[in-house]
Structure 1
Amino acid sequence: MEQHGQQVLETPRAAGLAGVVFALLLAAAIVLVRLGIPEGAAAAGTPGFTDSAQRKALRTALTLVPFAGIFFLWFVGAVRAHVGAVEDKFLATVFLGSGLVYTATMFGSAAAAAAVLSVGHPTGTAPQLPTWDFGRHLAYTLMAYATRMAAVFVCSMSVIGRRLGALPRWLSALGFLTALTLLFVASSVRWAELVFPAWSLVLSVYIILARGRAGTRTAEHP
């Protein structure tokens, strides 16, 4: 029985480490995708992938995305374990649903980027301009949708954490600020989507530290 209780305490803390890994993988993937597939005036009317560095950056990003999605699901589990039972089924459904839709949309964006890469063969040749523009816009449009879902995920988590007292005020306020940035700023400011992995990293570290303190108190007062 004691071993079972120990597992209940340790599993969320271990899953919290998955949130750290997810944040680092997602940030790296976003940076590599933006370097591999330029956006805006720099890419308009100019098919890419004639540079081998662009191909390598995008291939690396596409390798990281599936692992980022896997660790994100573990991160969602860690957050749910930290928060505990949520009586408000509406918020709980929005939180879980937005996380799942975000994962699916992120995979879709990666698939679109992979399609852009596949039409650039052989190495050193550029895809046709219509194909390049279509794939590039599709990849970034799906990324924009994923960013909105990330905003819903962050906002619902911040509301739940604030209502249940599972998160401190500063972390809830940081979550609301992150959600607003993802909703209204990320679409017009490049690299703004990096605030989501940054928030995930901060939340993961907080959960790890909180579970560590809880485990210490339990050991001192069984």
Structure 2
Amino acid sequence: MRTSGFARWAALSGALFVILWVTAFVILGGTVEGSDSDAEISAYFGDEGQRARGVITQFLLLAASLPLIVFIAVLRSRLESGEGGAGVWTMAAFGAGLVSTALWIVAATLYVLPFLPKAGDGAYELDLDGFRLLNGAGYIAFYSGGTTMSLLVLATSVLGIRAGVIPKWLSWLGFAVALLLLAAILLFPVIVLLAWLFAVSIALVWRRNQSEVPDATA
């Protein structure tokens, strides 16, 4: 049976997710933390251009959740085929992917709220205490999403070794990525995750295309 064009290339949604995330953070540029001084935080949010970039970043991050959900669905289909049904590893990866997506949506929303006008006349007012509260909550949601994603990486890597869902070298690398994500409170593991997801996205498209090449000896 021929595979539709969408089904064949849908795995590229993972690469699109990565591209949107990277673009969002490039646009945002620098950030401030709750531990910074009141003067530094006020100066950062007092920049109208920075506030506009913050809102654009949030829209891009929310938009990125759509291809991520598609990618998770494609990955579930591939894992299910490799596992011979919707087994433990397949469902663990699928559930972890959806939970991580939800946590990252929450994090993006919490991060952007301080950028929005709060006064009734549309003027901008910064609540320093509110910013620190939202920043802390957003950070918790962000790294919780990264940590949860370690289960998707682990399950995919296990079935990559067992069933060849992804190349073995990418599977072995995935075990290291899953371990790193247990420390997703740091930024570096999330950067490594994005690189791994991009590689998996390309590998899934390549493997599907390879499997559809007719056997000349048949």
| Runs ≥4 residues deviating over 4 A | 30-33, 119-126
TM-score, normalization by structure 2? 0.84
Once the two structures are superposed, the pairs formed by residues 1-222 of structure 1 within 5 Å of their partners are 5-7=1-3, 10-32=5-27, 35=29, 37-39=31-33, 41=35, 43-45=36-38, 46-47=41-42, 48-83=44-79, 84=81, 86-87=83-84, 89-118=87-116, 127-184=126-183, 186-188=184-186, 190-217=187-214, 220=216
- Provide structure 2 residue ranges, at least 5 long, that are not aligned to the other structure: none
Question: Does the CA contact (< 8 Å) of 1:36 and 1:54 recur in 2?
Answer: no
By relative contact order (CA 8 Å, sep 6+), the higher-ranking structure is 1
Question: Does the CA contact (< 8 Å) of 2:177 and 2:193 recur in 1?
Answer: yes
Question: Does the CA contact (< 8 Å) of 1:21 and 1:71 recur in 2?
Answer: yes
**Deviation of the 1:124 alpha carbon:** 8.8
Question: Does the CA contact (< 8 Å) of 2:34 and 2:131 recur in 1?
Answer: no
**Deviation of the 1:126 alpha carbon:** 5.4
**Deviation of the 1:102 alpha carbon:** 0.8
User: What's the % identity of the aligned pairs?
Assistant: 24
Indicate the larger mover: 76-85 or 139-148. 76-85
Question: Does the CA contact (< 8 Å) of 1:13 and 1:208 recur in 2?
Answer: yes
Question: Does the CA contact (< 8 Å) of 2:160 and 2:168 recur in 1?
Answer: no
Residues 30, 98 of structure 1: CA spacing in aligned structure 2 closer, same or farther, 3 A cutoff?
farther
1:196 and 1:25 mapped to 2: Cα distance?
Answer: 14
Q: What is the letter of the counterpart of residue 33 of structure 2?
A: E
TM-score, normalization by structure 1? 0.82
2:194 and 2:185 mapped to 1: Cα distance?
Answer: 16
- Provide structure 1 residue ranges, at least 5 long, that are not aligned to the other structure: none
Question: Does the CA contact (< 8 Å) of 1:148 and 1:183 recur in 2?
Answer: yes
User: CA RMSD, aligned part only?
Assistant: 2.6
Count of residues in correspondence between the two structures:
212
